[in-house]
A = this chain, B = another copy of it.
Amino acid sequence: MRFKLPLLAIGLEVAMIVLFALFVHYETDHNVHQQINTTTPGAVDKFLVSYALFQDVHVMIFVGFGFLMTFLKKYGFSSVGINLFIAALGLQWGTLIRGILHHHNQEIHVEIENMINADFSTATVLISFGAVLGKISPIQMLIMTIIEITVFIGNEYLVGEIFKASDIGASMTIHAFGAYFGLAAAGILYRPGLRKEHDNEESVYHSDLFAMIGTLFLWIFWPSFNSAIADAGEKQYRAIINTYFSLAACVVTAYAFSSLVEHRGKLDMVHIQNATLAGGVAVGTCADMEIYPYISMIIGSIAAMVSVLGFKFLTVYPGHASSCTRFFHWNSSWWRADHRFNSKATYLGTAT
């Protein structure tokens, strides 16, 4: 029994190494020379821009998501520790699956963009993780990581390549998908007996401050998340600006509604830790479009409002952790429905 986890993890890592040996190469010299060449400055830029944006996303995945769930006083180690474990496994698997699907040949050529996409594919598992924290064993978590990333990349391929829907910040494919997958997993793992373990779902003063580390690094770098894979130039610039203002408006509205719904007008740390990020998710799908800053701010404000009200008034499964994820992403799923139309419009727009 106690050897199950180590043997599974070692087995998976050995499999990764074998698959990497067979399929994964550097960008070939020819391609590298075109892309990374000190005598062609434009190409160097692209490499370096990508790396700076990659590092912002990397901080979000490992510090942001890692600390976001530390507010549960008994799951601090699980949150930050298991987050690192599954993200490290997931990025290897994501590199492979995405490489196989997107390159259509015998070799996967790794460059910075693959690393950004590998990090993205772990994000979906980390979002689902929030819904099942405290209900799932590390072994189940590893299996869920492998399955979810495979399904995610298939779905992303479908949305992006077949339907050609616009989803630059991956709000649909990462956030809504991750939330639903997590809810489904939580539903399967749900046992009524767990209802009593309510005391594990409280937070203490310092654990809430640790969670703020996660929140703030996610909030700060979200413009990089939404622009990391956008086309360089105007689209990337608009993705940054739109996300910046959407998040700012989202914070003000989240605080206002938190104070409105809470007892005696106090602020609730759970709203502050989660609803403040809803603006980044909500604007994600259309961040690179010419929607103007004030529309971004309206999107961010509505996202914050829906997120706080969802936290407060909707609870399907018992427990803080699951409700947390659910209503953070209920919000994003609400937006998904809305953006389905936006996406279609964009599709028509880009097709023109």
Q: Name 19 A/B residue pairs within 8 A (Cβ), A-sorted.
A: A5-B259, A6-B265, A9-B255, A10-B253, A13-B301, A16-B252, A17-B294, A17-B297, A21-B294, A36-B234, A38-B46, A39-B42, A41-B42, A77-B205, A81-B267, A84-B276, A92-B248, A112-B237, A115-B240
Say whether B58 contacts A55, CB under 8 Å.
Answer: no
Say whether A17 contacts B298, CB under 8 Å.
Answer: yes
Binary B-proximity of A225-264 (CB < 8 A = 1, otherwise 0)? 0000000111001101100110111111101110110001
Say whether B66 contacts A216, CB under 8 Å.
Answer: yes
Interface-facing stretch out of A24-32, A146-154, A309-317: A24-32
Binary B-proximity of A197-239 (CB < 8 A = 1, otherwise 0)? 0000000011011101100110111001000000011100110
Whole-angstrom distance between the alpha carbons of A95 and B29 in the complex? Answer: 36
Chain B residues whose C-beta falls within 8 Å of the C-beta of A220 in the assembled complex: 55, 58-59, 62-63
Interface SS of A by simple majority: helix
In the complex, the 3 A-B pairs of residues with the closest C-beta atoms, listed nearest first: A2-B265, A88-B251, A9-B256
Say whether A297 contacts B20, CB under 8 Å.
Answer: yes
Copy tally for this chain in the complex stands at: 3
Say whether B45 contacts A256, CB under 8 Å.
Answer: no
Residue of B nearest to A249 (CB): B13
Chain B residues whose C-beta falls within 8 Å of the C-beta of A233 in the assembled complex: 32, 36-38, 44
Say whether A16 contacts B264, CB under 8 Å.
Answer: no
Residue of B nearest to A248 (CB): B88
In the complex, how many angstroms separate the beta carbon of A247 from the nearest chain B beta carbon?
7
With A58-B220, A80-B209: A301-B245 Cβ-Cβ less than 8 Å: no
In the complex, how many angstroms separate the beta carbon of A249 from the nearest chain B beta carbon?
6
Interface residues of A (CB under 8 A from B): 1-7, 9-10, 12-13, 16-18, 20-21, 24-27, 29, 32, 36-39, 41-42, 44-49, 51-52, 55-56, 58-59, 62-63, 66, 70, 76-77, 80-81, 84-85, 88-89, 91-92, 110-112, 115, 138, 205-206, 208-210, 212-213, 216-217, 219-221, 224, 232-234, 237-238, 240-241, 244-245, 247-253, 255-257, 259-260, 264-265, 267, 269, 272, 276, 290, 292-294, 297-298, 301
Say whether B210 contacts A84, CB under 8 Å.
Answer: no
Whole-angstrom distance between the alpha carbons of A36 and B39 in the complex? Answer: 15
In the complex, how many angstroms separate the beta carbon of A287 from the nearest chain B beta carbon?
12
Chain B residues whose C-beta falls within 8 Å of the C-beta of A301 in the assembled complex: 13, 17
Say whether B16 contacts A265, CB under 8 Å.
Answer: no
Chain B residues whose C-beta falls within 8 Å of the C-beta of A249 in the assembled complex: 13, 16-17, 88, 92
